[in-house]
Amino acid sequence: MSIGLARLMKRRIASLSAVRGGDHGFTLLEIMMAVAILGMMAIAIFRFVQTTLTAVQFSSYTEAADAHMMASVNCLQLNGKA
């Protein structure tokens, strides 16, 4: 049963390649479209990473400023000047 299926598949593949003329390459347009899509994806990923890094950097600066402010407040309270 599986031998008959294998023969049928081989004939089907042979008929498909005969219809296409045995052409298995990509056209220049297909390659250009693939490169354009990859380029757009790379730009989108770069912008996402750049925005995320900027947000993390701003957040760390804000946390540092908050820590300095709280340290100053605590110091003043301990010295009894507040």
Contact 64, 73 (CB under 8 A): no
Whether the CB-CB separation of 82 and 76 falls below 8 Å is answered with yes
- Over residues 12-69, the pLDDT tens digits come to 877 766 555 556 788 999 999 999 999 999 999 999 999 999 999 888 888 888 888 8
Look up the domain containing 34 and give its range. Answer: 25-82
Joined tokens for residue 21: 């003329």
* Two tokens, residue 37: 């899509």
Q: Is 77 domain-assigned?
A: yes
Domain count for the chain: 1
In a domain, 8, yes or no: no
Whether 19 is in a domain gets the answer: no
Predicted structure pTM score: 0.50
2 Cα distance to chain centroid: 43
